[in-house]
Amino acid sequence: MRIALLHARYTLIETARVPIAVMGAVVFPALTLLFFVLPQRAIAEDSGAATRAVASLAVFAVLNNALFSFALSIAQDREQPWDPYLRTLPVRAASRVFGHVLASAVLGVAAVIPVVVLGALLTAARATPLGLVGAAAALVVAGIPFALAGICIGYAMTSRGASAIVQVVMFGLAFGGGLFFQPTTFAPWLDAVSRVLPSRQARDLVVFAVQGGTLDLWTWIGIVAWSAALLALALVLYRRDEGRRFR
Amino acid sequence: MTVLARLDRVSRHYGALTAVDDVSLEIRAGEMLGLLGPNGAGKTTVISLLQGLRRPSSGTVELFGGDPRDAVTRQHLGSTPQESALPAALTAREVIDFVGGHFAERLTSAELAAEFGLEDLLKRQTGALSGGQKRRLSVALAFVGRPRLVLLDEPSTGLDVDARRALWDAVRRQHANGATVVVTSHYLEEVEALADRVVVLRAGRVIADDALGNVIARVGLSWVRFESGEAVSSLRGAVRHEVDGRRHSFAVRDSDAFVAELVRSGIHFEGLSVRGATLEEAFLNLTDEGGA
């Protein structure tokens, strides 16, 4: 745990020294809110719909941040000779991964806050303080599969491969999970596919936390199943990894 | 003597390439071991096996009685990053504190800086350091956790003469304080300056494992070359004789005595040259007695 904090701290120091890298993760979701939600007055002026839209984009902020920060930084680190050096230090895989999770969580919070603030100021979205706390907790839980997916991509491919795959996975999950367009507008077949995606489960969980209503048992099963499967895969990929392979 | 690390009949292949071929090696507490060999001989692979970075294809690697791939086993191991690897955005002090934070017992960044002459660099980002400064910082990092065993891969590459001597002095002080050190190099000079035991690798195999003096005696050969129309038979002091038409090449241990002998013999010669054999030549061409 102490080592994980150490890694998180220095990852953040390094990130903070290259501020432009942070901007993509922090600004993109807020821009999406301005361009996708604000112009649609039917959504922006309806309290229920606006709240759901803001919740969805908060999930998007977490998804975007987790995938990019894990997949790209891990894939890039593996190509740097600093990474094999860190592997010679007395630090377990789990501590390094956990340190990375903590650092990414800090950036995730930085990405979610502008979405929530803009949502509160410019749309009819409303939430009780308790709802906000619940939503924050839900975002943390919902972010786990995204972070693990990013870790798997990072350890499975080169940074070029990772940046291509991350775009595809991110937009696939964002659209498919109903983060840009609400799932109520989906055709039945798309809705069925959507329910299997971790992004949809994350969205449903966060909407439930902030708005109440009903939550499918399937949502919980899905989040736990995705997390367990991706965690197992991430550990296998980490242990198999010996840095970049040349053929 | 306590054995800190052991390779037992270890081989490591990369696809069709065999980097390490049936190597057995023990590293004992208190040693200053030089791992010597030309590029591609398998030195770096041996180091990475000891660091737990790579798995042997066959055989076993033991570090402090455990598996180097387990993080806890590496608590008393010190290694050096490539100098190009240092995170450019962090300052030297941050890098030292980050690496040092992994070890239960550690030197403070001030102590380490004093030991390796880094005091003036602590506040600078590593991206702003010169190649030699990065090299010194990299080597210093191997010692921050008060390691029992230190692996230095080509520690003084790219340093000028003064910086190299200063670095060697610092490494010798750490060794005197109790650290066991393994240093790889393809420079005989570096191994000569540091090691008391030398292991020579060639094409992934150990071809010599001996006290420094004995290895120097085998490596310290010179080539004496000249042209002559006469039939030159063997001369006293020659370890090896190669003939190519009029050109004669003798590998000798004492070139002065050999030239005196050549003159005394009355052989007519021209174009005499004397040149020290490189390490690579010494081991690739001269040690035909093989893995003795």
* Distance of residue A71 Cα from the nearest chain B Cα, in angstroms: 19
For B83-138, the pLDDT digits (tens) are 678 988 899 999 999 999 999 999 999 999 999 999 999 999 999 998 889 999 99
Residue A125 has pLDDT above 90, yes or no: no
Q: Going by C-beta distance under 8 Å and a sequence separation of 6 or more, which residues neighbour residue B34? A: B183, B184, B185, B190, B191, B194, B195, B197, B198, B199, B212
Residues A7-32 have pLDDT tens digits of 999 988 888 887 776 777 788 888 88
Q: Hey, what are B85's tokens?
A: 């690897």
> Could you give the ipTM of this predicted complex?
0.78
Q: Please state the rounded mean pLDDT for residues A54-72.
A: 90
**Which of residues 64 through 123 in chain A touch B, CB cutoff 8 A?**
80-82, 84-85, 87-93, 95
Of B262, B41, B78, the C-alpha closest to B170 is: B78
Mean pLDDT of chain A: 87
What pLDDT shows up at residue B175? Answer: 93
| Over residues A26-53, mean pLDDT | 87
Q: Cα(A158)–Cα(A138) distance, rounded to whole angstroms?
A: 32
Q: How many residues does chain A have?
A: 247
* Number of A–B residue contacts, CB under 8 Å: 69
What pLDDT digit, counting tens, does each position of B234-279 carry? 788 888 888 888 899 888 888 888 999 889 888 899 999 988 766 6
Per-residue pLDDT, B291? 38
Q: In A, which residues are within 8 Å of B137 by CB distance?
A: none
Identify the bridge partners of residue B23 per DSSP, sorted by sequence position: B10
- Could you report the per-residue pLDDT of A74-109, keeping only the tens digit for each? 888 888 888 889 989 999 888 887 888 888 888 888
Coil, helix or strand for B38?
Answer: coil
C-alpha to C-alpha distance for B148 and B76, rounded to whole angstroms = 5
Helix A47-67 crosses helix A159-176 at what angle (to 10 degrees)?
Answer: 160
The residue-averaged pLDDT of B141-151 equals: 95
The predicted pLDDT at position A153 comes to 93
Residue B154's pLDDT band, with cuts at 50, 70 and 90, is confident
> Within 13 A of B127's CA, how many CA atoms are on the CB side?
6
Which positions 55-114 of B are in contact with A (Cβ < 8 Å)?
55, 71-75, 77, 79-82, 84-87, 89-90, 94, 98-99, 101-103
Give the chain A residue whose CA is nearest to the CA of B51: A88
Over 80: is that where the pLDDT of B74 sits?
A: yes
DSSP lists the bridge partners of residue A76 as none
List the structure tokens of A213.
């209503």
A122 within 8 A of A44, measured Cβ to Cβ: yes
Q: Does the beta-carbon distance from A90 to B77 stay under 8 Å?
A: yes
**Of the candidates B222, B179, B217, the residue with the CA atom closest to the CA atom of residue B200:** B217
Nearest chain B CA: its distance from A110 CA (Å): 21
B12-65 pLDDT tens trace: 998 888 999 999 999 999 999 999 887 888 998 999 999 998 899 999 999 999
Q: What distance in Å separates the CA atoms of residue A242 and residue A83, rounded to the nearest whole number?
A: 10
- Which one-letter DSSP state was computed for residue B42? S
Of B151, B199, B138, nearest in space to B4 by CA:
B151
